[in-house]
Amino acid sequence: MSKVDLTLAAPSGDATGAIRAAASKLQESGGGRLLLTGHFKINVPAGESLVALKDARDVVIDASKAILDDSAVLFDKLTFTPIFLFDGGENITVTIGEYRGVPLPDPQTQMGYRGAILVRAIRGAKGIKIDVARASNLRYGLQTGAYDDASNGQCSNIDVKIRGTMIGYSVAAYLADDLRFDVDIDGIHRAVYLGGCSKVSGVARWRDQYIAPIAVVLTDALAAGNDRDAQADPVRKPTRSRGCSEIDVQSIDKGSKIFQGGSVCAGIALSRVDPCVFRDIRIRVSSKGTDTVSTKVGAFHIYSGANEVWKRYPSNWRPEVVFENIRVSGLIDHSESSLDGNGLSELSVKAYDKDPANAATFKSISFDGLTILPSSGHQRALNFEVPGLAGIASFRGFRAPGMTLGLRTNDRHDSLMADCEFGELDVRHVPGGSRVVVGQGCVIGKETSDGPTSNTRLEGGRIGGQ
């Protein structure tokens, strides 16, 4: 059957039925083109879709000269309501001039939990291009895969560009591959969420962060099993998860008047404590804070609170959670602020609970070209706590003048520094048998260590008057 080529001008009243009728013709022909022009007033019931296509190929939905006005009804339930749903399929292009949703009554509690999904892709859909000139008041821009169902994932070759305001997640992807994004959003829960994704690159520009602390977050995703069975019988029916790999992303805070006490540009956080690997990840961060804007927006965090959600895990970490070739760079500038900064730390990597035996395994991690300029009122140290270090921790061109860097590693692997600047280096939790090598170009104000034996070794750097 030949593909249809349809044009629909906006009717005077509710356009939901007319658009659905046109979508049915696309489904019947297995794909085709739909051109929308004008101001479309739509009313999609919660849990339903405006356009739903299954296994369609070569689909073009051109609403570049249209307004999709969905501002009549607020979705007051925690449910998925995709405006465009693609279940499988290939070579899909969606272009939208403007989407208007309903403003949230209380974004401080509802952002990211209420509203429609502009585009949802599931079950291996591939070759997807999304270009949204303007959108407002959405739960998700692009959502692909699912938190609790691995069969909804495996979408690939996705390009997404979105400009908008008050969008909980501009991109949220589970088990997606070959994803490229360019998003610029004012008002977020998280700008980008990547769960178990690979081969992802992009830039997220954002301001004003509600509820969640990490603007661009990488996490694991469910790859097999289900949480209900695993909770009942974690030994015989465990879940399996996949971490993220081959990621190159940038998170830029444009200047936020709304932020959380522990807000950071980017981070890695576990959703489950299954064996998984985070590999070949590059993250760049940027924020400039004052006493009124982005005062507490920090750089980067690694943490896990998965045990608090899923009690089948005895702790928040395990050695089978592996980090390999992680690189963080960028600039966090609070030098024009007089107030205390991030409520946790501008940089916090804590990959263990109370017992170092349960720590995550770090094969390699580097902070390369990272600058953190503190406020005059800053009170907290930078923290790097990785007792599961299984390779080199590298600090190169890491400048945090006047700030303390606290290290917790093990007695098997060294930490290497070059061209770094800190007010204080706290090595009390670096056991004997390993060293912090202070190399060329390093300027450290002082060292804090246990007893008379230093755990640092100078190789061209300087500590205090040394």
Q: Which of 17-26, 122-131, 455-464 has the lowest mean pLDDT?
A: 455-464
Helix or strand (DSSP H, E) at 279 = strand 276-288
Residue 1 has a pLDDT of: 59
What residue segments make up the domains of the chain, in order of their start?
A: 1-169
Percent of the chain beyond pLDDT 70?
A: 98
Residue 12 has a pLDDT of: 93
Per-residue pLDDT of 47-69, as tens digits, reads 999 999 999 999 999 999 999 99
* Reported confidence tier of residue 354, pLDDT bands at 50, 70, 90: confident
Q: Tell me whether residue 246 is exposed, middle or buried, using C-beta atoms within 10 angstroms of its C-beta: 0 to 12, 13 to 18, 19 or more.
A: middle
Residue 453 has a pLDDT of: 56
Residue 72 has a pLDDT of: 76
pLDDT of 307 above 70: yes
Per-residue pLDDT of 210-253, as tens digits, reads 999 999 999 999 999 999 999 999 999 999 999 999 999 999 99
pLDDT of 424 above 70: yes
Which whole number is the average pLDDT over 87-115?
96
Which whole number is the average pLDDT over 276-293?
98
How far is it, in rounded angstroms, from Cα 236 to Cα 255? 49
Per-residue pLDDT of 129-149, as tens digits, reads 999 999 999 999 999 999 999
How far is it, in rounded angstroms, from Cα 25 to Cα 235? 49
* Reported confidence tier of residue 312, pLDDT bands at 50, 70, 90: very high
Which whole number is the average pLDDT over 38-53?
95
- Contacts made by residues 434-443, CB under 8 angstroms, sequence distance 24+: 434/409, 434/410, 436/407, 438/462, 438/463, 442/417, 442/418
- Count CA atoms closer than 13 A to 158's CA, side-chain side: 37
Residue 79 has a pLDDT of: 86
Residue 466 has a pLDDT of: 65
Mean pLDDT over the full length of the chain: 95
pLDDT of 76 above 80: no
Residue 117 has a pLDDT of: 97
pLDDT of 452 above 60: no
* Reported confidence tier of residue 83, pLDDT bands at 50, 70, 90: very high
CB 410 within 8 A of CB 435: no
- For residue 368, what are the CA distances in angstroms to 64, 131, 273, 327? 41, 33, 28, 7
Backbone dihedral angles phi then psi of residue 232, each to the nearest 5 degrees? -75, -35
* Reported confidence tier of residue 404, pLDDT bands at 50, 70, 90: very high
Six token digits for residue 432 = 């004997």
* Reported confidence tier of residue 447, pLDDT bands at 50, 70, 90: very high
How far is it, in rounded angstroms, from Cα 168 to Cα 116? 10
The DSSP bridge partners found for residue 185 are 164, 206
CB 117 within 8 A of CB 143: yes
Per-residue pLDDT of 8-36, as tens digits, reads 999 999 999 999 999 999 999 999 999 99
**Which DSSP string corresponds to 385-436?**
E-TTEEEEEEEES-EEEEEEEEEE--SS--EEEES-EEEEEEEEES-TT--E
Percent of the chain beyond pLDDT 90?
A: 92
How far is it, in rounded angstroms, from Cα 54 to Cα 31? 10
Residue 451 has a pLDDT of: 63
The 8-class DSSP code of residue 3 comes to P
